[in-house]
Amino acid sequence: MQKDFDVLVIGSGLAGMTAALSLDPAMRVALVSKDHLAEGSSQWAQGGIAAVLDSNDSVESHVRDTLVAGAGLSDEKATRFIVERGRDEIQWLIDQGVEFTADEAAEFGFHLTREGGHSHRRIIHSADATGRAVTQTLSRRVREQANIEILERHVAIDLILGTHPGSGKKFCRGVYTLDTASGRVVSLGARATVLATGGAGKVYLYTTNPDSATGDGIAIAWRAGARVANMEFMQFHPTCLYHPYAKSFLISEALRGEGARLLLPDGTRFMPEHDERAELAPRDIVARAIDYEMKKRGLDHVYLDISFKSPDFIEHHFPAILERCLEFGIDIRRQPIPVVPAAHYTCGGVMTNLAGQTDIDQLYAIGETAYTGLHGANRLASNSLLECLAMGRACAAAVGASAPSQEQARLPVWDESQVTDADEQVIVAHNWEEVRRLMWNYVGIVRTDKRLARARHRLQMLKEEITSFYGSFKVSRDLLELRNLVDVATLIVDCAAARRESRGLHFTQDYPSQILVPAPTVVRQSITSPDAR
Residues engaged in binding ligand SIN (CB under 6 A): 46-47, 252-254, 381-382, 384
Q: Is 437 a catalytic residue?
A: no
Q: Pairing state of beta strands 184-189 and 228-229?
A: unpaired
Q: Which of 101, 187, 384, 431 binds ligand FAD (CB under 6 A)?
A: 384
DSSP for 44-69? G--S-EE---STTS-HHHHHHHHHHH
Tell me which of ligand SIN, ligand FAD, none is bound by residue 332, counting a contact when its beta carbon lies within the kind-specific cut-off of 5 to 8 angstroms.
none
Site string for ligand FAD, 140-169 (x = CB under 6 A): ---------------xx-------------
Q: Is 193 in the site for ligand FAD (CB under 6 A)?
A: no
Q: Which is nearer to ligand FAD, 264 or 355 (CB)?
A: 355
Q: List the one residue out of 533, 530, 477, 479 whose CA is nearest residue 193.
A: 530
Q: Which is nearer to ligand FAD, 186 or 314 (CB)?
A: 186
Q: Is 357 in the site for ligand FAD (CB under 6 A)?
A: no
Q: Which of 8, 20, 29, 45 binds ligand FAD (CB under 6 A)?
A: 45
Q: List the one residue out of 220, 214, 227 whose CA is nearest residue 195.
A: 220
Q: CA 434: distance to chain centroid?
A: 22
Q: Is 345 in the site for ligand FAD (CB under 6 A)?
A: yes
Q: Which of 29, 196, 390, 492 binds ligand FAD (CB under 6 A)?
A: 196
- The amino acid at residue 491 is L
How far apart CA 15 and CA 11 sit, in angstroms, is: 8
Q: Which is nearer to ligand SIN, 208 or 508 (CB)?
A: 208
Residue 42 DSSP symbol: G
Q: Pairing state of beta strands 522-523 and 228-229?
A: antiparallel
Q: How far is the CB of 526 from ligand FAD (least distance, A)?
A: 24
Q: Which is nearer to ligand FAD, 248 or 502 (CB)?
A: 248
Site string for ligand FAD, 115-134 (x = CB under 6 A): ---------------xx---
Q: Where are the beta strands (DSSP E) in 78-167?
A: 112-113, 123-124, 148-151, 154-163
Tell me which of ligand FAD, ligand SIN, none is bound by residue 291, counting a contact when its beta carbon lies within the kind-specific cut-off of 5 to 8 angstroms.
none
Half-sphere CA count of 136, side-chain side, radius 13 A: 12
Which of 132, 283, 451, 483 does the annotation list as catalytic? 283
Give, in order, the Cα–Cα distances in Å from 146 to each of 16, 20, 26, 46, 121: 17, 12, 10, 31, 39
Question: Coil, strand or helix: which one is 185?
Answer: strand
Nearest to ligand FAD by Cβ — which residue?
13
Q: Which is nearer to ligand FAD, 42 or 362 (CB)?
A: 42
How far apart CA 514 and CA 63 sit, in angstroms, is: 22
Catalytic residues: 283
Sites of contact with ligand FAD (CB under 6 A): 10-16, 32-35, 39-42, 44-49, 130-131, 155-156, 196-199, 208-209, 212-213, 216, 250, 345, 367-369, 382-385, 388
